[in-house]
Amino acid sequence: MIIEYLIIFTLVLALISVKWKRIAYALLSLDSLFFIWFGINQFSLLNYLGVFSIVGGFVWFFSSLFSIFYDHEKWLAPSFITSILGMQIALISSTYLQFLAGYEIMTIPAYFAIGVNRLMKSPAFTFMAFGEFSTVLVLVGFLDAYLQTGSLYFQHVFTYLPLVLVSFGFMIKMGIFPFLVTEWLPIAHGSAPSNLSAILSASMTLIAVYGLTRMAILSPSDIFLGLLLMAIGAFSTLFGSLYSYVNEHVKGLLAFSTVENDGAILASIGLYISYPNHVLSLFALATVTLFVSAHSLAKTGLFLSTGLIQGESISSSNTLKDTFSVVGVVLLTSSMSGLLPTLGGVATWALLESLFMDAFVLHSVLSIIPILVGTIIAMGEGFATAAMIKYVSFTQIFKTSYGKDIRKSAIVLTVGVLVLIAGSLSIFLFPSFISGTNLGVPPGFLLSSRFSSSAFGGIAPFFILFLIPFFSLLLILVFGKPKTRTAEVWNNGREIKDKYTSFAYSNNIRLMLRKLLRTKVLINGVEIAEDIFWIAMLKISRSYIKFSKLIATAYMNSDLRIYMVYMIIAFIVVVLLVVVI
């Protein structure tokens, strides 16, 4: 009950923010803490969906805290809070309609970011077109579920058709291959501010995954749908990470990395849906929540860190940096690269482990799919590491400092440390998989993966977290600290004029994967068809626009843009009415 009041409180905050945005942000961060508490309560009843609220709470908490020091545009605060309002509605929804309402409200700022901020015609329409398409699919899916159960409440459904429809609807929203456009468009082309990007990228995905997971739990399992989703997820991981690696836009790189993570999450949802056996399916479900947490937290931190960067292109941007931000971003990128003992590392481990367990459990020709999915995801992880090293190097480490902003970097560091420590706590997402041995890892610390009663593998993230610094200290004690003398960095005996660029850093892969990226080496640079999917999507949406233009001119005979704005406003009103009812 309290939680409904919380929603109304958020709504009020959205209104307050028009005038007093700092106060609104501060109150919003408190509001988010309540959501964490709500999620913990939910999870303690063994409801995996609670994890989404916990993670959402953390994301909102950090980004609203960050916004207090960051916000500089007028329209930003209301749309930021509106987006969070939408997510909150979706997360506490008990009916399909409530969920859909929240789902649409949360997207409004994205429309805003593209449509109002830049007034670029075709990207906005493309995004709108796919947004609508996604909603229609989800709506039809829910409708089918309603027809089956006769209830608007989330309930068990009898066929997997609603799940299929809903899956594809959410996949569009998650920017899954080949719908990459919906993810990076608002961020890269709309050039959304850092805090809003964090919300758009980290938690919009969260809600889509939430919806998908919720429907997956309520639907009968289906091995073929599951394998299909795994395959689609694998390709998203590969292409998302590859495009992220070659991307030169500060936020575009991160947006593509979100696509990559969404792919991995989709693969684990697919594994859950394919239901190889009870134990493994449970492991996969926990992996979904773990992966979502890892991605949302780390990505929030990374998007907030873009608030320290001035400029859009990585090569030419300037960075505010200090020890806090450097360490923070290193931790965040190591988590995004899937390295132990961070949260992302445990998530990657769990995903790969579950995929290969699946291959073993299936033990048939079908095993080829999880094997290939696992291999492709492993390759994706390789690209992701390269992309993350590019990000951390060329925004923090390799750059000389341009100034510092200790308040912002303190928040980035906090999220980084949280991601590191949460790695060790993450094993509690797998309550029935925790064990221990007599070989140094006592009961309660070992997360063992298994598909039956006996263990397949296992890790103890806390021990990694503890042992590596412990051995490092030991080494420092044995070898001592280095005696240092400072000198200019060696550049073949010459002064450094030009510094290595981030474009050059990823150029090797452009040249190596010429066919895949369609690299063209021109006389004055390199061009890649990074956007082949974007071009295809643009074509599709153009014909859609032509179609809607026809209708628009037939009915309204006025400027198309006004029509769009009108549609949005009308939609919000309808949605709000539905929620209140």
Partner 1 sequence: MRMIGQLGEFCLYSDRIEKGICPERETLKKENYRSIQGFTFAYGPSAGGLLESVGIDLDTFGEYISDVKVIPYKIRKVRVKSIIDNSILYVERINGSFSASHTISFITAIEEGLGIEPPYEVKIGRIVEMELERIRNHLIVMQRVVEAAGFSVPSFQLLYLIEKVNRVIAKSFGHRYFYGVNGLGSLRFYEEIKSLEEIKKEYKEIYRGIIDNRIFIDRLQSNGVIVDKEGIGPVARSASFKNDARNDGNYAEIYKELGFSTVTYDEGDAFGRFIVRGEEVEESLRILSSINLHSVEYESKKRNNEGEGIGRVESPSGDLAYYVKVNENIIKEVYLFAPSSYNILAFSSSMVKNIFTDFPFNWESFGIWLSEVGVIFE
Partner 2 sequence: MISQIVEAIVQVLGSFLLAPLYVGILDKLKGMVSSRKAQSVFQPYYDIFKLLRKETILPNSSGLIFLYTPYFVLATYILISFVIPVVYPEPVFFTPVVDFLGGALLFSLAAFLKTIEAMESKSNLVALGVSRVMSFNFLGEATLITVFFAVALSTGTNNPYVESHFVLNPSNYLALDHVLASVSFFMLWLFETGKLPVESSGLNELGMIDDSLTYEYSGKPLAILKWGSYLKAYLLGSVLLNVFFLPWGLFTGVLGSIIDVGVMFLKWLLLISIVLILETSLAKFRLFKVQDFLAVALVLSVISLFFSVVGYV
Q: CB of 216 within 8 A of CB of 289? A: no
How many residues are recorded in the chain? 581
SS3 74: coil
Nearer to partner 1 by Cβ, of 156 and 499: the residue is 499
Which of 438, 486, 524, 557 is the binder for partner 1 (CB under 8 A)? 524
SS3 447: strand
Min CB(513)–partner 1 separation in Å: 13
Min CB(524)–partner 1 separation in Å: 4
Which of 485, 494, 515, 546 is the binder for partner 1 (CB under 8 A)? 494
Which of 2, 150, 453, 483 is the binder for partner 2 (CB under 8 A)? 483
Q: State the Cα–Cα distance between residues 302 and 293, nearest whole angstrom.
A: 14
Contacts with 307 (C-beta within 8 Å, 6 or more apart), sequence order: 66, 70, 193, 194, 195, 408
To the nearest 10°, report the CA torsion of 459, 462, 465, 466.
-120
* Long-range contacts formed by 518-527: CB under 8 A, 24+ apart: none
Q: Does position 446 bind partner 2 by CB under 8 A?
A: yes
Min CB(376)–partner 2 separation in Å: 8
Peptide bond just before 186 cis, omega within 30 deg: no
Which of 157, 510, 530, 552 is the binder for partner 1 (CB under 8 A)? 510
Which of 45, 119, 487, 522 is the binder for partner 2 (CB under 8 A)? 487
Q: State the Cα–Cα distance between residues 332 and 302, nearest whole angstrom.
A: 7
Q: CB of 235 within 8 A of CB of 379? A: no
555 touches which of partner 2, partner 1, none (CB within 5 to 8 A by kind)?
none
Q: State the Cα–Cα distance between residues 240 and 29, nearest whole angstrom.
A: 31
Which of 122, 491, 543, 558 is the binder for partner 1 (CB under 8 A)? 491
336 touches which of partner 2, partner 1, none (CB within 5 to 8 A by kind)?
none
Q: Does position 460 bind partner 2 by CB under 8 A?
A: yes
Q: Judge residue 550's burial from the number of C-beta atoms within 10 Å of its C-beta, 0-12 exposed, 13-18 middle, 19 or more buried.
A: exposed
Contacts with 581 (C-beta within 8 Å, 6 or more apart), sequence order: none
β-partners of residue 109 are none
472 touches which of partner 1, partner 2, none (CB within 5 to 8 A by kind)?
partner 2
Min CB(557)–partner 1 separation in Å: 44
Min CB(390)–partner 1 separation in Å: 12
Residue showing tokens 């931190």? 301
Q: Does position 398 bind partner 2 by CB under 8 A?
A: yes
Write the single-letter amino acid at 545: I
Q: Which of residues 510-539 bind partner 2 (CB under 8 A)?
A: 511-512
Nearer to partner 1 by Cβ, of 248 and 381: the residue is 248
Q: Does position 480 bind partner 2 by CB under 8 A?
A: yes
Min CB(500)–partner 2 separation in Å: 4
Please report the DSSP string for 292-340 in residue order: HHHHHHHHHHHHHHGGGEESSBTTT-EE---HHHHHHHHHHHHHHTT-T
In the shown chain, the binding pattern of residues 289 to 318 toward partner 1, with x for contact by CB under 8 A and - for none, equals --------------------------x---
Which of 224, 470, 500, 566 is the binder for partner 1 (CB under 8 A)? 500
Nearer to partner 1 by Cβ, of 483 and 515: the residue is 515
Q: What is the CA radius of gyration of the chain?
A: 24
Which of 395, 449, 519, 541 is the binder for partner 2 (CB under 8 A)? 449
Q: Which of residues 4-43 bind partner 2 (CB under 8 A)?
A: none
Q: Does position 499 bind partner 1 by CB under 8 A?
A: yes
Please give the size of the binding site for partner 1, defined by CB under 8 A: 24
485 touches which of partner 1, partner 2, none (CB within 5 to 8 A by kind)?
partner 2
Q: Does position 523 bind partner 1 by CB under 8 A?
A: yes
Six token digits for residue 68? 């207090």
Min CB(453)–partner 2 separation in Å: 12
1 touches which of partner 2, partner 1, none (CB within 5 to 8 A by kind)?
none
Residue showing tokens 């961070």? 342
Nearer to partner 1 by Cβ, of 402 and 500: the residue is 500
Q: Which of residues 348-367 bind partner 2 (CB under 8 A)?
A: 348-349, 352-353, 356, 359-360, 362-365, 367
Nearer to partner 2 by Cβ, of 494 and 546: the residue is 494
Six token digits for residue 55? 């993670």
DSSP 113: I
Please report the DSSP string for 220-269 in residue order: PP-HHHHHHHHHHHHHHHHHHHHHHHH--BHHHHHHHHHHHHHHHHHHHH
385 touches which of partner 1, partner 2, none (CB within 5 to 8 A by kind)?
partner 2
Q: State the Cα–Cα distance between residues 287 and 265, nearest whole angstrom.
A: 8
Exposure string of 138-160, with b = 16+ CB inside 10 Å and e = fewer, is bbebbebbbeebeeeebeebeeb
In the shown chain, the binding pattern of residues 432 to 471 toward partner 1, with x for contact by CB under 8 A and - for none, equals ----------------------------------------
456 touches which of partner 1, partner 2, none (CB within 5 to 8 A by kind)?
partner 2
Which of 496, 550, 569, 577 is the binder for partner 1 (CB under 8 A)? 496
Min CB(288)–partner 2 separation in Å: 19
Question: Which helix (H) or strand (E) covers residue 525, if one does?
Answer: strand 525-527
To the nearest 10°, report the CA torsion of 366, 368, 370, 371.
160
Q: Does position 493 bind partner 1 by CB under 8 A?
A: yes
Question: Which helix (H) or strand (E) covers residue 527, if one does?
Answer: strand 525-527
Min CB(232)–partner 2 separation in Å: 19
Q: Does position 372 bind partner 2 by CB under 8 A?
A: yes
Nearer to partner 1 by Cβ, of 414 and 501: the residue is 501
Tell how far CA 389 is from the center of its chain.
18
Q: CB of 259 within 8 A of CB of 177? A: yes
Residues of this chain that bind partner 1 (CB under 8 A): 315, 491-494, 496-501, 503-508, 510-511, 521, 523-526
